A and B are shown apart, each in its own frame.
Chain A
């Protein structure tokens, strides 16, 4: 047993062929998931039981079960029903890519919704009162006071969640997708050289994590610029 550097050199470009797919999965799911999260959040804080209750249940279910199980239910499970196979969604649900994006978005939506709620709960109650005392409506308070501050408070946790999402895209390889992980598994199956291939891939993922954190760090600094004491 030895560490074969030529295999590292060979496999990295092959795995990077899957980078596009990994990034697509991540970007699409991040956008769709965040939109879903905002909807869930608005339902959650609406104080109307028929909106609160479904939102809470949804979040509870999606945060309480493994993402892998969610992927399997959508990809392998849904075609059990003829209604699904006949529906207009079938072109999406037939494809592993569509299923992966759907599962990742539904999952991210639940997590991000709680993160955003944490941000909102973190906003000093006095600020809302001050805005109310000035005559701002509930909606104006939410848009002009709560939201900008909540976004700042939620950014670190949101950044961690996008990293989690990126890591979860690797699970798409379990439903035949050839993202970076899928390609790596294929190479390992052929060469039986897990160290060379998987360690190289780990480095690629860590570089991506680094850039995600860097980008959000910059965003957070921008959002916190008003907290610097010196001008």
Chain B
């Protein structure tokens, strides 16, 4: 399997991040290897989103080092653009461009960033819409789609740039319960294809079945890391135990 090659594609070393006087990330150390599937969980405000947003520099870290696919993230715009081309991201609130049709949402970045021809961008877009099983929605505007459909479009849009790594920031948290599985199905398919993924999610079923490694964060720190079996059935830290008991209590 790919991860046996142990080729690190994301490295965080002693990463700190402050918002004013509030420290959102405290000395984060994390290595993600090629093909690895990571699930990040933890209570709200624990820094999970901040951490993955630092990986494509939507947030700037202010201490330590982040290396993505060989590029160290600094103020250098060229490196950041290079990283962002190689890292796809899916947001909790979809963030589809409301003024563009579905297919144009997908074509925008290849056209602008990679100078792909219109016809080729269209072909790529349609192929990806097939993959997320909504080609028939291609010419609709985002607002005309259900939440689950919008999120699948958002995943396809990120895949249009042919990224090597995908970041998911709570992709199902804004969805009605009946739409969660259609999005998770797409993510499971991606995982099967060997995509390197980091998912912030509360979907513990997904975490258990798909993740190679689970990272538990609390108060800006990584508290515990381990394979799903150990993490769920044999957590070491008290904080992890408490979190797990809270999310499965009801």
Contact = CB atoms under 8 A, between A and B. Distances in A.
Given A134-B157, A134-B158, A230-B144, A129 B98 contact: no
Contacts of B154: 130
10 contacts: A124-B95, A126-B93, A133-B88, A149-B98, A149-B99, A226-B99, A226-B143, A228-B144, A229-B144, A230-B144
B80 to A, nearest CB: 9
B136 to A, nearest CB: 12
B248 interface: no
A134 B109 CA distance: 6
A152 B89 contact: no
Contacts of B167: 133
B143 A133 contact: no
Interface string A193-231: 000000000000000000000000000000000111111
Interface stretch (A7-15, A137-145, A175-183): A137-145
Interface in B113-145: 113, 140-144
Contact of B91 (A129, A149, A226): A129
Contacts of A230: 144
Given A226-B141, A226-B143, A230-B144, A144 B112 contact: yes
A135 B113 contact: yes
A69 interface: no
Contacts of B85: 135
A143 to B, nearest CB: 9
Interface in A129-184: 129-137, 140, 144-145, 148-149, 152
B81 A126 contact: no
A172 B143 CA distance: 46
B198 interface: no
Contacts of B157: 130, 134
Interface in A74-125: 124
A148 B101 CA distance: 14
B91 A134 contact: no
Interface residues on B, range: 20 to 34
A135 B81 contact: yes
A16 B83 CA distance: 63
Contact of B109 (A127, A135, A149): A135
Chain B binding site: helix, strand, loop or mixed by DSSP?
A: mixed
B95 A127 contact: yes
A132 B56 CA distance: 9
| Nearest 8 Cβ contacts at the A-B interface | A130-B95, A134-B109, A133-B89, A126-B95, A135-B85, A226-B141, A135-B84, A135-B113
B161 interface: yes
B91 A126 contact: yes
Contacts of A126: 91, 93, 95
B58 interface: yes
A148 B91 CA distance: 22
B91 A231 contact: no
Given A133-B87, A134-B158, A135-B81, A152 B112 contact: no
A129 B90 CA distance: 10
Nearest to A129: B58
A152 B167 CA distance: 31
A106 B97 CA distance: 34
A144 B81 contact: no
